[in-house]
Chains A and B, each alone.
Chain A
Amino acid sequence: MLLIKSSNLLHEYFSEQVIVFDPNTGQTHCLDNNVIEILGQMSTNKSNSLAQLKQFFTQECSNDEKTRINDYIQDMINNLLQLKLIRVHSL
């Protein structure tokens, strides 16, 4: 799956959460602050492969850790899609 991040997102980082403002929808979201790491790996003007994203975060992980991190990332991606902070890029 290929993904694109919404443009011009603003965020304010706190100890556990991050507040993200999306000027495209006018919505403000309170999210787990790990989201920033994931969004940080994504671009607003070219598509990003989900597989590569997962690979990036699971380098040097054991298989067991990999499964858990992959699930975690998948959950987050689903959530970000629902909030329209990212979109699916279809070919």
Chain B
Amino acid sequence: MPKNQTLSSLNTHEISKRLNKDGLVLAVGPFTFCIKSSLPSIVNNVQKIYADFQLLSHDDLIDFYVSIKKTKGIRRFIKPQINFYSDDYSPFLPLPASQAFPLLEWGMNWCIAQHAHHYLLLHSAVLEKNGKSVILPAQSGSGKSTLCALLALNGWRLLSDEMALIDLKSCQLHALARPISLKNESIKVISAQSHNTVFGEIVDDTNKGTISHLKPSTVSVEYVAEPVRPFAIIFPKYQVNQAINVQETDKATAFMSVIENSFNYAVLAEAGFNTVAALIDQVQCHTLTYSSTEEVLAFFEEFAH
């Protein structure tokens, strides 16, 4: 198999066959997933959203075996439900079948958050332009994913929408380039930004409202194996009708905020502390309050120069 064969080289029939049988093996950043599912919505979404991802085989080392399966029992005829499995284990309660793809995405995040303790994992978006990277931690009300999608559509390379992977030894940021999960109004705002956006199915009535996934740019996926030095941590906050305001944050506060946003700081113990210390030491820390798209894009544009 040529080294850089992507999913787009397979037709729908072949993708569906692999998902149904032994599993479709994809490189997702530093991880390799084997995905199985017989659900048509998984086939459609995976084909569309993961088109640029590198195809691997069962002869490669695989990190995670994930599947989405219909639940058994009589109830499935009235109200079909699905479960996420990480190998034999199902960590979540079942969801309505319409939410299959969001559940797969969520489950893949879960696998990484539970098992990738060779990274410090932060709940944040990460983007890069001209070698300058920004970590955008996801505090509630930050509008992180919308901001992330805006930047990704304006020349920033997407490293991750959900998770910063910080190498414990080198302190470098590693990329995932996974789809960006958008909710409710954000979906419209982002589709209006560009004609080139590709979205997955729009799923209504999840416990987070309406969800759809934005396909990551081909360039972001092509460069997924390139790590980058952390340059800045910016704590965003969306505030209606506010002019843009950027403040430097003192580093002790930033340190504590980073910990709060980490998935595995507690588990990592000393290694976690040392990595956060090294990270804080080498980045600028800012808080950003914004409402206008133009203003916030202009700010980041300047930041990258």
Contacts and interface: CB of A to CB of B under 8 A. Distances in A.
Contacts of A19: 252, 255-256, 273, 277
A8 to B, nearest CB: 8
A14 B274 contact: no
Contacts, number: 38
Size band of the interface chain B makes with A: 10 to 19
Given A10-B273, A18-B252, 12 more contacts: A12-B280, A14-B255, A15-B250, A15-B251, A17-B250, A19-B252, A19-B255, A19-B273, A19-B277, A21-B273, A28-B273, A30-B255
A40 interface: no
Interface residues of A, number: 13
A16 interface: yes
Given A21-B273, A26-B266, A14 B259 contact: no
A23 B270 contact: yes
Given A14-B250, A15-B250, A23 B269 contact: yes
Nearest to A20: B273
B270 A14 contact: no
Interface in B161-210: none
Nearest to A33: B252
Contact of B259 (A15, A16, A17, A28): A28
Contacts of A23: 269-270
6 contacts: A12-B280, A19-B256, A19-B273, A23-B269, A26-B269, A30-B255
Given A16-B250, A23-B269, A30 B277 contact: no
Contact of A10 (B250, B265, B270, B280): B270
A14 B256 CA distance: 12
B190 to A, nearest CB: 36
Interface of B: 250-253, 255-256, 259, 265-266, 269-270, 273-274, 277, 280
A21 B270 contact: yes
- Which among B250, B265, B269, B273 has the greatest number of chain A C-beta atoms within 10 A? B273
A23 B273 CA distance: 10
A18 B253 CA distance: 10
- Which among A10, A15, A18, A21 has the greatest number of chain B C-beta atoms within 10 A? A21
Contact of A14 (B252, B265, B269, B273): B252
